[in-house]
Each structure stands twice: as structure tokens, then as C-alpha cells.
Structure 1
Amino acid sequence: MKRFEKLSVTLPAELAEMVRGRVEAGDFASDSELVGEALRIWKERDASLEQALLRVRAKIEEALNDPRPSVSDHDVGQHLEELHAATVKARGNAA
């Protein structure tokens, strides 16, 4: 059985009006139901963001532990310029 606890919160007028409007429209049975649903969605989003951060941290750790030599920004730039030149040349030949 779910355990409930009563809380009292103060909302900005705009949010309070939104809550009342959604309840009056029949989207939710009560203010409590709306707030509970909003908090559930927030909790899910928070967990999803945490998982995304963990994946990013793992990728960073993987990159830091990669034994291959680093590529300098100069080398990356040069490679991109070569790719661009090859693309321009290929398009020129296709025209």
C-alpha cells in the first residue's frame, strides 16, 4: 500500500493557475494528482539525465585511457582541408 504524506507548497501565481486549470479541465482528479505526476516525470527525466552523464563520463574515461597517440588540432585541421579539397575536386569533375 502506498504511503502518503501531506505537504504544503507555495507556487507562483502562474503555476497555481495552471494547476487549477488542468484540474478544472478534468486532466487530473486533484492538485495532488497533478503534482505527483509532475514529480514522477521529473524523477524519470532526472534518472535519464544521470544515465546520459554516466555514458559521457565512461566515453571520456575510455578516451583518456586510449593507448593510441593523440591527434593534434593541426593534424585534424590538415586532414579536414584535404577532405574538403578532394570533395571540391570531385564535384568539379562531376559537373
Structure 2
Amino acid sequence: MRTTQQLSITLPNEMADVVKAKVRAGEYATESEVIRDGLRALLARDRAVESWLHQQVGPAFDALKSDPSRAVTADQVRARLAARHAKAR
């Protein structure tokens, strides 16, 4: 059984030029390898974002929802950032 599938894709000229340049430079053997590597990087980024959402954002939201007194206003955030910036100078 075949484990690959042939697709016909259209890329903007600039992206197509990058793909071709990677092959010309010897970084990849084929244009397909360039695209596969790019898709792997995209999938890895998606997994990292999903993990961050589940491990950090979700729990932080739940904690804030259970204790709204932990919230700070936008003005408080700006003031804290300004103080840190001034201290760093």
C-alpha cells in the first residue's frame, strides 16, 4: 500500500523561488522534501501552541475564574511594566 500521495500545489513566486533555492543549494534533494520539512515545522509549532494552551493558559484562566481578585487592570499592567523598564535603565 502506498504511504504517500501526490498533490499539485500552487505557491506565490517568492515561496516557489525559496523552495527551488533550497534544492539548488543542496540543502534538500527534492522540492517535496522542502515542503515536507516545512509542514513538519508547522505541525511542531501547532503542537507547542496546543501544549501551551492546555498546560499554562487553561490553568491560569481557571485560577482567575475561581478567584477574580487575582486580576489586574490594563493600567496596573502598564504601570508595572513602566516601573520595570525604569529600573532596568
Change (3 A) 1:15 1:72: closer
Name the residue aligned to 2:60.
59
Provide the rounded CA distance (Å) in 2 between the counterparts of 1:36 and 1:52: 24
Normalization by structure 1: what TM-score?
A: 0.67
**Structure of greater Rg:** 1
Q: Give, in angstroms, the shift of residue 72 of structure 1.
A: 7.9
Which residue identity does 1:64 align to in structure 2?
Answer: K
Question: Is there any run of 5+ residues in structure 1 with no aligned partner, and where?
Answer: 85-95
Q: Give the ranges of 4+ consecutive aligned residues of structure 1 lying more than 6 Å apart after TM superposition.
A: none
Matched, 1:70 2:62: no
Q: Offset of 1:63 from its aligned partner?
A: 2.1
RMSD, matched Cα: 2.8
Seq. identity, % = 33
Task: Give, in whole Å, the separation in 2 of the partners of 1:29 and 1:72.
Answer: 53
What number of residue pairs does the alignment pair up? 75
Distance 2:16 2:71 in 1: 54
